[in-house]
Amino acid sequence: MKLPTIPGIETFWRLKGCSVDGKEQVFTNEDATVTEATDQSCSWKFSTGMEVRLWQDDSGFHLAFSNCPDEVKIREMQFPVWHLNSPDLRLLMPKSTGFLTGPIENWAEKAELSCSFSSYQMAACFGTDRNILVMLPDEEHYLKNIKVRRAEDHVEAAVTFFVPQKENVAACTIPYPVILEEFTGGWFEAAERYRRFAWNTKEYRKAKERINPLRNTAMWFWNRGGADEVGDPVIRFAKESGLPVALDWYWWHHNPYDTDYPYYWPPREGEAVFTEKIAELKQHGIFTQVYTNGMTWDMDNPGWSNGGEQSAIALENGDILNVPFNRYNHHRLAFMCGESEPFQKEMFVQAAKIHQAGVDGLYLDMCGCVSNFYPCWNSRHTHAPGGGTYHHQGFAQYIAKISERNPGLSLSTEDCSEEYLDLFDSMIVLCHSWERLTDGLWTTFRGDFVPVFQAIYHGTTALFGSYSVPDGIPPWDNGWPAEDRWQENEEQEWEKLYPDQFYLELSLNIINGMQPSVHCLRNRHWTDPRFREIMDYLLSAAKFYADHLDWLFDGTMITPGKLSVPQTTVRFMTRSIYTTQKDFKSHERQLPAILHSVWRDPEGNDALFLANYTANEQTFEFEGIRGTLPPRSLKCIRLDSGKR
């Protein structure tokens, strides 16, 4: 049978498993004998008696194995597996809003990246003339991922389905079709094709039917710290702008960041201070949500003995999956399984206390991006080990119960999440600040984030988020050791050394269909004349977004076309909350001086959106439209929809 191909790419399948003594076993079509071959199907047989069949019908391709001997356990079914040999090939990965790599010839040695299909269930390979799209229309959200790695003489990309390890698994069929299509165009055309599946899912339909309480939000503030430090600068912004704004409040809880989860209550300044500040924020019309981690339990907290091990994801060797995110105390945060009743019960208690305090929303960290990433082998659980749908089902039920038990409480999570689209009113997305957070993806893959998720799902949930700190100084948790904090005399006027970074990140929010956001706004940014230009831009950006909600929240992204603009050099600083002075980095990139996107409102009206994030006036041309854009400015140009 014939598979879609483009020059420089070889497509095949692979099964991976282990023998009874634990040795890895790998089976590919190259190691088997073909027993049947037609235009629509092909079958192979191994010397062990195991058979593999690949066939195609109207829904797509299907892969199955049967007659697997008892001494072999198949853990993974991989299809498609691509070997990429042409140096100019690029990959679109389902990471955050969408990650488009640079040409594989520019990748770093041993480059490697694994992504779940939480954001969307699609990936693509781009060639010089033709491209291949892989779509996995799986409404049950089975555990699966895509992994790319650079080998010595090629790059491999493998889509993996994790096989549920029921007793004596002698046969298995991937329970969803694998659609492989050739197409022309770029990442946007790939997103358009994926819409055929995405817009018919139950999550999408439910999300489109609801009235999102955050639709009118003109600016988000991601602030961390005490009540006055966090709330007062936001209250001033609400007064000066006269617009609806939202606050995502971190470090309100009694414990240091990334420590002692899932125990958050009482607030670190006491219940009275906390509830009074929430009430004050409400009086000014500010929507406030507070931080919790929706899927980790601190193994080094005494409460771990109350059901932590029973709730956690266990690796095949029995170890608990954990990460010590806090670089100071190294507390191990264990990842929870979808089947985690003790953990969920504790989170229900925490959510109720937060809701009773008058908080508008609850942020559940990590659920959106990693809750359906790792196979679980915990012997205390009732689900089959390995693959399956237990993570998605368990977390979806848990999230829904928090809503049901706390009427009116808005829920939010981390990163783009197709599978929980109907359960979260908002999602924080930080990939537009990835140069500030880490330059690893840039130095490894020479790629960039593109708004694939927005092209598919815009308007179903409120996307916000940015690490854009006005003065370049990340927040500091007072629960951390004081000697590790950057001293005041070590700080510089970062906004002058990296003059375009803040404006670029904020502009990307708006151009890519997100609600504008800023991180760590403080009173000093209002009072120090040094930040007057930044604060003026924040106010103007909020007003611009509010004036164009018909496109920027309610609209649909359409083909961006080509904008002709000059290139400019942008300097980036890399500094997050845990960055030490010795880890501080800088780098430069050549980027278009004006960002753009095109949107269609519900009435069918098209508009071009432009953002000049630089300090200089810039010229542009778009489909016969020529003009100039003042420095640090945003613009909307109505288009003749009939001609597009």
**Residue 595, pLDDT score:** 98
> Each residue of 184-216: pLDDT tens digit?
999 999 999 999 999 999 999 999 999 999 999
Query: Of 599, 622, 589, which is closest to residue 449 (Cα–Cα)?
Result: 589
**Residue 164, pLDDT score:** 97
The label of the residue with tokens 């694998």 reads 178
> Each residue of 346-359: pLDDT tens digit?
999 999 999 999 99
Residue 136: give its domain's CATH number.
2.70.98.60
Does residue 642 surpass a pLDDT of 70? no
Residue 436: pLDDT band (50, 70, 90) is confident
Does residue 30 surpass a pLDDT of 60? yes
Interatomic CA distance for residues 223 and 298, integer angstroms: 23
Residue 425 lies in a domain: no
Interatomic CA distance for residues 627 and 554, integer angstroms: 27
- How many residues does the structure list for the chain? 644
> Using the 8-state DSSP alphabet, how is residue 201 labeled?
S
Interatomic CA distance for residues 325 and 199, integer angstroms: 36
> Each residue of 394-429: pLDDT tens digit?
999 999 999 999 999 999 999 999 999 999 999 999
Interatomic CA distance for residues 66 and 170, integer angstroms: 6
Cα torsion through 524, 497, 517, 372, rounded to 10: -120
Q: What is the mean pLDDT of residues 96-112?
A: 95
Can you say how many angstroms the Cα of residue 301 is from the centroid of all Cα atoms in its chain? 29
Q: pLDDT: is 168 or 282 the higher one?
A: 282
Please answer whether residues 575 and 558 qualify as being in contact, where contact means their C-beta atoms are separated by less than 8 angstroms. Answer: no
Residue 134 lies in a domain: yes
Residue 560 lies in a domain: no
Residue 106 lies in a domain: yes
Q: What is the mean pLDDT of residues 475-504?
A: 93
> Each residue of 150-182: pLDDT tens digit?
988 899 999 999 999 988 799 999 999 999 999
3-state secondary structure of 285: coil
Query: Of 487, 569, 495, 577, which is closest to residue 528 (Cα–Cα)?
Result: 495
Q: What is the mean pLDDT of residues 91-110?
A: 96
Please state the φ and ψ torsions of residue 355, each to the nearest 5 degrees.
Answer: -65, -40
Q: What is the mean pLDDT of residues 236-263?
A: 97
Q: Half-sphere exposure of residue 638, counting CA atoms within 13 Å on the CB side?
A: 8
Please answer whether residues 248 and 222 qualify as being in contact, where contact means their C-beta atoms are separated by less than 8 angstroms. Answer: yes
pLDDT over 90 percentage in the chain: 91
Does residue 625 surpass a pLDDT of 60? yes
Residue 96 lies in a domain: yes
Number of domains in the chain: 1
Query: Of 426, 435, 431, which is closest to residue 98 (Cα–Cα)?
Result: 431
Residue 614: pLDDT band (50, 70, 90) is very high
**Tokens read off for 106:** 């520019």
Please state the φ and ψ torsions of residue 501, each to the nearest 5 degrees.
Answer: -60, -50
- CB-based contacts of 589-595 (< 8 A; 24+ apart in sequence): 589/435, 589/442, 591/504, 591/567, 592/563, 592/565, 592/566, 592/567, 592/568, 593/565, 593/566, 593/567, 593/568, 593/618, 594/563, 594/565, 594/618, 594/620, 594/629, 595/504, 595/507, 595/508, 595/511
The label of the residue with tokens 């190259």 reads 30
**Tokens read off for 598:** 């095109």
Please answer whether residues 244 and 285 qualify as being in contact, where contact means their C-beta atoms are separated by less than 8 angstroms. Answer: yes
**Tokens read off for 164:** 């549920």
For residue 113, the cross-strand partners are 148
H helix or E strand, kind and range, residue 582: none
Domain that holds residue 20: 9-196
Mean pLDDT, all residues of the chain:
96
Interatomic CA distance for residues 557 and 199, integer angstroms: 14
For helices 227-241 and 532-547, angle between their N-to-C axes, nearest 10 degrees: 60
For helices 532-547 and 501-511, angle between their N-to-C axes, nearest 10 degrees: 10
Please answer whether residues 150 and 22 qualify as being in contact, where contact means their C-beta atoms are separated by less than 8 angstroms. Answer: no
Interatomic CA distance for residues 481 and 374, integer angstroms: 33
Query: Of 613, 627, 641, 632, which is closest to residue 551 (Cα–Cα)?
Result: 641
Q: pLDDT: is 581 or 349 the higher one?
A: 349
Range list of β-strands (E), 227-267: 245-250
**Tokens read off for 508:** 């990307």
Residue 57 lies in a domain: yes
Please state the φ and ψ torsions of residue 394, each to the nearest 5 degrees.
Answer: -65, -45
Q: Half-sphere exposure of residue 387, counting CA atoms within 13 Å on the CB side?
A: 24
**Opening angle at CA 574, ends 224 and 545, nearest 5:** 60
Query: Of 81, 79, 123, which is closest to residue 99 (Cα–Cα)?
Result: 123
The label of the residue with tokens 């598979």 reads 3
**Residue 22, pLDDT score:** 84
Between the CA of residue 546 and those of 209, 470, 513, 549, 552, what are the distances in Å?
22, 21, 12, 6, 9
**Residue 418, pLDDT score:** 97
H helix or E strand, kind and range, residue 380: none
**Residue 644, pLDDT score:** 57
Contacts of 145 (CB under 8 A, 6+ apart): 114, 115, 116, 117, 159, 160, 373
Please answer whether residues 147 and 160 qualify as being in contact, where contact means their C-beta atoms are separated by less than 8 angstroms. Answer: yes
> Each residue of 478-488: pLDDT tens digit?
888 888 899 98
Q: What is the mean pLDDT of residues 259-283?
A: 98
Does residue 643 surpass a pLDDT of 70? no
Amino acid at 559: T
- Radius of gyration of the CA atoms of the chain, in A: 25
**Tokens read off for 236:** 């001033």
> Each residue of 506-560: pLDDT tens digit?
999 999 999 999 999 999 999 999 999 999 999 999 999 999 999 999 999 999 9
Interatomic CA distance for residues 229 and 234, integer angstroms: 9
3-state secondary structure of 429: coil
Residue 141 lies in a domain: yes
Cβ of 609: how many Cβ atoms within 10 Å? 24
Please answer whether residues 541 and 510 qualify as being in contact, where contact means their C-beta atoms are separated by less than 8 angstroms. Answer: yes
Residue 360 lies in a domain: no
**Tokens read off for 321:** 């999956």
**Residue 219, pLDDT score:** 98
Cα torsion through 26, 78, 441, 415, rounded to 10: -140
**Residue 257, pLDDT score:** 95
* Across 288-297, 440-449, 542-551, least confident range: 440-449
Write the burial class of residue 64 (CB in 10 Å: 0-12 exposed, 13-18 middle, 19+ buried): middle
